[in-house]
């Protein structure tokens, strides 16, 4: 196994939730009268904490309207939208393969809230896959490296023995700030050339390919 600790992004890396995130954010924008938010713009902010995502998506939005957008997005994501959110092909099998080593630690670093991640853990019955997790509302949003620093400290693993895996430049840049190895997956939201700018040590086009490389 290449690393003692493997840290995964969630949306666009493990779970195919991008379509639901886009649909819910667009619905929320219409609800508050902001207008139609372009799909490409919504995809671009996936991975950021929700306050940071809204600020980037809606420049100049006032605090009250930002809170209204956040509230309506949460409503649509939890109750109002039924777009399926499956794991990407090979995720369950791949995680089981990594856990089978018995020594490797697995963690999640996500732009979701703690409440949102815990809900997904319950619904997907996958919380036991991971030894630790950090969300954007309990630390600093990506690309700041604080959530990675906290995970390294909690699990007692130095940065040189860990890797961050994600589908956005936000994932890769927070690892790069610590000098941590980073792996890009190209089936998520950011284009391969954008990911390449962060100099990943490996780029995977599918999850099984990623697992083969990690397990080598």
Sorted by where each starts, the structural domains of the chain and their CATH numbers stand as: 5-16+86-215 (3.40.50.1000), 18-80 (1.10.150)
pLDDT tens figures, 165-195 = 999 999 999 999 999 999 999 999 999 999 9
9 catalytic? Reply is: yes
| Burial profile 100-112: b = 16 or more Cβ within 10 angstroms, e = fewer | eeeebbbbbbbbb
Catalytic-role residue among 11, 16, 167, 181: 11
| Residue 133 confidence (pLDDT) above 80 | yes
Please report the pLDDT score of residue 216 as a whole number: 81
44 catalytic? Reply is: no
73 φ, ψ to 5°?
A: -60, -45
Please report the pLDDT score of residue 103 as a whole number: 85
Which distant-in-sequence residues (6+ apart) come within 8 Å of 133 by Cβ?
Answer: 107, 108, 109, 110, 117, 151
pLDDT tens figures, 59-116 = 999 999 999 999 999 999 888 777 889 999 999 999 999 998 888 999 999 999 998 9
81 φ, ψ to 5°?
A: -125, 140
């Amino acid at each position: 196994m290449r690393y003692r600790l493997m840290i995964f992004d969630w949306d666009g890396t493990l779970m195919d939730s991008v379509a639901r995130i886009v649909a819910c954010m667009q619905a929320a924008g219409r609800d508050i009268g902001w207008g139609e938010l372009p799909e490409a713009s919504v995809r671009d902010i996936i991975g950021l904490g929700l306050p940071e995502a809204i600020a980037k998506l809606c420049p100049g939005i006032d605090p009250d309207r930002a809170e209204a957008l956040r509230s309506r997005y949460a409503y649509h994501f939890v109750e109002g939208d039924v777009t399926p959110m499956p794991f990407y092909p090979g995720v369950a099998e791949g995680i089981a393969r990594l856990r089978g080593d018995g020594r490797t630690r697995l963690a999640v670093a996500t732009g979701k809230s703690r409440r949102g991640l815990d809900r997904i853990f319950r619904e997907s019955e996958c919380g036991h896959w991971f030894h630790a997790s950090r969300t954007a509302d309990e630390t600093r949003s990506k690309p700041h490296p604080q959530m990675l620093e906290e995970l390294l400290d909690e699990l007692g693993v130095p940065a040189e023995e860990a890797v961050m895996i994600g589908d956005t430049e936000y994932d890769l840049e927070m690892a790069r700030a610590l000098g941590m190895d980073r792996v890009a997956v190209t089936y998520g939201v950011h284009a391969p050339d954008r990911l390449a700018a962060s100099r990943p040590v490996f780029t995977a086009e599918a999850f099984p390919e990623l697992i083969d490389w990690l397990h080598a």
